[in-house]
Amino acid sequence: FLKSDEHVLDEVKERIIGSPDLYASQNRGIKASVNFITAHDGFTMMDLVSYDGKHNEQNGEDNRDGEDRNNSWNCGWEGECDIESINYLRHKQIKNAVTMLMTSQGIPMVLSGDEMGNTQWGNNNAYCQDNEIAWLDWNNLEKKTVSWVRCASLLLT
């Protein structure tokens, strides 16, 4: 939906309104719905808008591990770049994702590090990495989180 895929609007609508198609028959209500876009298994939010494919080469499994279908879009450039228009689009896509997550019925779940633009450089299966790929960079935290947190805060107030 965020990357303009066709034929997903009805399914996205169901998720935004709390997944009644999954939970209504069980009388569980919207509190049963935990909404998330990224999780520990898969891309970070920044990688979701920066990579079309996984880059798990350093995991030692010839890039065969991890999910091949990431539902990602690199906005026109694979990986990090210094192209202002692409970085603007990526940040806009992240704000769109945060907006969808925070306004959906149910409980939002945020992957730790997404609020500060954490990247795993396209590695969507970093369980075996005890290095910069999997570590969170806490440097300049205030500067990194200001846009994301402002967006989420405005939506929640």
Query: Do the Cβ atoms of 35 and 106 come closer than 8 Å?
Result: yes
More confident residue, 30 or 75: 75
For residue 1, what pLDDT band results from cuts at 50, 70 and 90?
low
Give the residue ranges of DSSP H helices in 1-140: 9-16, 20-23, 45-48, 84-103
Q: Where are the domains of the chain?
A: 36-156
Greatest Cα-to-Cα distance within the chain, rounded to the nearest angstrom: 50
pTM: 0.90
Please, are residues 12 and 1 in contact by the beta-carbon 8 Å criterion? yes
Pair 30, 105: CB distance under 8 Å: yes
More confident: 7 or 69: 69
Res. 42: pLDDT tops 90: yes
Backbone angles phi, psi at 138, to 5 degrees: -90, 0
Q: How far is residue 81's CA from residue 42's CA, in Å, rounded to a whole number? A: 21
Nearest-angstrom CA–CA distance, 51 and 67 = 13
